[in-house]
Amino acid sequence: MKADTISSLAGREILRSAMARNQTSLTDALKEFSTGRYADVGKALGGRIGGVLDMRNIVGSLTGLTNTNSVVKQRMDHVQSSFAALRDLGADFSESTLGVHKTGADRGLLISDAKARMATLTDVLTTSTNGVYAFSGLNVSVPPIDNYLSDPPSAARAAVIATFTTEFGFPPDDPQVVTITPAQMEAYIDGPFSALFEEPQWSANFSQATDEVMRDRISQHEEIDTSATANDAGIRKIFFSLTLAIDGGAEHLRTDTYEVLATRIANAASEGGHNIAASQARVGVAEERLAQANERIDLEKQTLEGRIGELEGVDAYEVADRLSLLMTRIESSYSVTARMQQLTLLNYL
Amino acid sequence: MSLTLAHEIARGGMLANATQSSLVSRNIANVDNPNAGRKYAHTITSEIGVHLGVISNAVSPRLLESVLGTTARNGELSSMTSALERLAGSIADPELGISPAAMITEMQQALYAAAADPSNETLLRNIISVATNVANTLKDAGNLVVQVRKEANADLKDATTQLGTLLKDFEDANNQIVSGTIIGRDVTDQIDRRNGLLREISGLIDINTTTRANNDMVLFTASGTTLFEKAPRTISFDFSPLSPGQPGGLLTIDGVPYSGAAATKLGGKIGGLLQIRDDVAISYGRQIDEIARGLITTFAESDQSATPTLPDVAGLFTWSGGPALPTSGTVLDGLALTIRVNPNADPSQGGSLDRLRDGGIGDPSEPDYVYNPDGVAGFSQRLRDLAAGLSAAQAFDPATGLSGSTSLISLASDSAGWLESRRSSASDRLADNEVLGERAVNAWQGQIGINLDEEMTSLMAIERSYQATARLMSTVDQMFQAILRATGAL
């Protein structure tokens, strides 16, 4: 056996460097213990940091989706409740028109009822949420329709009265209205009056909305329509029925012609209500998809956050164990150093 | 045997004792010198007494070699690790979200948020502020790369100068050793000094040593170029300014070029700095440049008319060469340094926020670049397309060392992974190597170093031997006196 003498310097160096290393590890372990994550995540994960960043990216975009989905949901709730109001408006107006007509009540009642409902319709369509007019299609910064009953008369009302005047030679509130026959009235309603609610006249006189509606991304790969348009067939039908009641000359019409008019008003209102119910169902389906997407997003986010935690995080028990081990080691290293200092022949000579 | 001879032997013993004790005191003085070998002299006994042989050093060439090897690797890895750590500052902790990858993700979120509510000015303004952050992050990362390379270049200059000085000192020590060895002088102190110089030199550059007759040492680089033979060989370093993406000035040793691809063969701090300057930092810089180029390309605007005739132009993000787009699929070195948010979309610079939603940022005077000709406020298609574009695959230059076809977001996170894996492996290797280095030094010092206790023990032996010799002399003296008295001379 060959006994090497160990140099005094090397003996001291070993202790010193071991202590320095232990102390660095102690700092890291303390940091890991308090944060629950690696002291230096980049160094600990190395190349896998790319994966963590990818996951954080997905979590970020999912959080973004959750936020935008809440905006979208608010808008869709608004559209949904507006549609419900309009559907009821159509059905109720149809019923009340028939009621007024059948009981032979005052025709003025029909007109004032129509005017009140027109005000409601305008209100519903021109309500904005977060500065967005949900019934304007893409043209969200502009209300979809003007107030039909405004004073001076809106472009829409002027167009309706002009069409009536052109057809019969006198405006709807003229007493000569009494001369209009049922056949003439039918011809007017199916001809020039119906054309008012078709393009291009509809957009020229009534609506500022676009046919195209807003689309939004509700999950990583799903897009749905999230706003509505006043150009919806049902809404046009309701307008058709209300304007016919307000500016169809109801007050002075002959009884038989009035019957034609009242029937057409009631039919259009009820048809409009039905059409709106169909649109409402479409929105309902989209809302359901939105709700499902939100659920999926939450799940996906939880999973990913869990995995990020697993990658970046440290096992608390393991760290605690490591900490106490390191502390014991450092303590013993201190006492060994102190004793080694005493261990020199100099003290015994 | 005569009394005179006995006296002579005692005198020789005294002399040997004196030399031994001077060796012990020199060893004790050197006990804290990490490069010092234990000095010793053999005692030679003959019929005319004892004398000491030539004073030698404890040596251990093989252990010294491993010390030099680990020192060189340490130098290389620690210079690389500190540079990589500087570069990784551009990524930081993923939780902080300040890496280019995180910033681009934030950009995507800002775009999607605005797309859900495109008439909301606050959200459009948020896009501009995030975009400004993205541009600044990339610019900062680009500048960081430039800065790291510049520092590496300056360090290289210092290191090569230092290497020259060390080799000069080495020449001095080596000459003294050779001439001293020829005439049989004690050269142990010079050998200690030469060993110290060797360790310092190997920190700068990986060396191999060969010892020839008369203790003459020759140094080679790891790849075999002569670094020192009787005199230092010429080391030249071209300290010229760096340009992005291009290797820096040439380093030659004895006429052999050591820059660029050959750098790995050099080792030591100089080898590490060369790798950073001409390889790692260039690749990382190119990745940042490609991220910048990908961003400009993703936000580019194209002619929206029925029969497109106009070229694509840079949109929200533009650069010094804008509004033209940088060549697709090819890295443009230094692009990240000039990326900025297009003033045409920034209200604080006289632009219009609506252009974010409607297009026409690149050239507001040309209506064909507008995606939303009617200007309706609910138009979100462009914003959604831009956001999706950040996740869509596009062509990148494979010169970055990353995948050539991937999405911008993946490229950014791949780039972070690329850098962190290098940093992680370099610092792991450094930690391992530090332990190895300590072991090697300990083993070497254990073999050649000085142990205080042992020296103290020798000192005690010398003391006893001195006492014995002195007793011998006094005995001989007494005998002389007895003879002289007997002969009546006294």
Does B109 sit within 8 Å of A64, measured CB to CB? Answer: yes
| Rounded average pLDDT over B170-193 | 92
Q: Please give the C-alpha separations between residue A110 and each of A89, A241, A262, A340, B112, in angstroms, as whole numbers.
A: 14, 12, 9, 110, 48
Does A9 sit within 8 Å of B450, measured CB to CB? Answer: yes
Task: For residue B105, list chain A residues with Cβ-Cβ distance below 8 A.
Answer: 56-57, 60-61
Give per-residue pLDDT as tens, A211-237: 888 888 888 788 888 888 989 889 999
* Chain A residue at shortest CA distance from B92: A42
Residue among A131, A216, A312 minimizing CB distance to B115: A216
* Chain A residue at shortest CA distance from B383: A216
How far does the CA of residue A255 sit from the closest CA of chain B (Å)?
47
Assess: ipTM above 0.90.
no
Residues 430-469 of B with CB under 8 A from A: 438, 441-442, 445-454, 456-457, 460
Structure token digits, residue B198: 């060797």
Q: What are phi and psi of A132, to 5 degrees?
A: -110, 125
pTM of the predicted protein model: 0.82
Does A53 sit within 8 Å of B412, measured CB to CB? Answer: yes
Is 60 exceeded by the pLDDT of residue B314? yes
pLDDT score at B1? 58
Average pLDDT over chain B reads 89
**Residue whose pair of structure tokens reads 């046919």 in the numeric block:** A211
Is 80 exceeded by the pLDDT of residue B48? no
pLDDT score at A2? 43
For chain A, give the percent of residues with pLDDT over 90. 21
pLDDT score at A1? 36
* Chain A residue at shortest CA distance from B423: A43
Give per-residue pLDDT as tens, B322-342: 789 999 888 999 999 999 999
Residues 387-426 of B with CB under 8 A from A: 387, 409-410, 412-418, 420-421, 423-425
Residue among A41, A48, A71 minimizing CB distance to B417: A48
| Rounded average pLDDT over B183-202 | 91
How far does the CA of residue B111 sit from the closest CA of chain A (Å)?
10
How far does the CA of residue B380 sit from the closest CA of chain A (Å)?
7
Q: CB of B299 within 8 A of CB of B317?
A: yes
User: Where do the DSSP E strands lie in B35-157?
Assistant: 39-46, 49-57
How far apart are the C-alpha atoms of B142 and B198, rounded to whole Å? 38
Is 80 exceeded by the pLDDT of residue A288? yes
pLDDT score at B264? 58
Residue among A4, A69, A346 minimizing CB distance to B446: A4
Q: What are phi and psi of A214, to 5 degrees?
A: -70, 140
> Which of A7, A40, A216 to substitute to test the interface with B, most B CBs within 10 Å?
A7
| Dihedral (CA of B95, B101, B102, B105) sign | negative
Task: For residue B30, list chain A residues with Cβ-Cβ distance below 8 A.
Answer: none
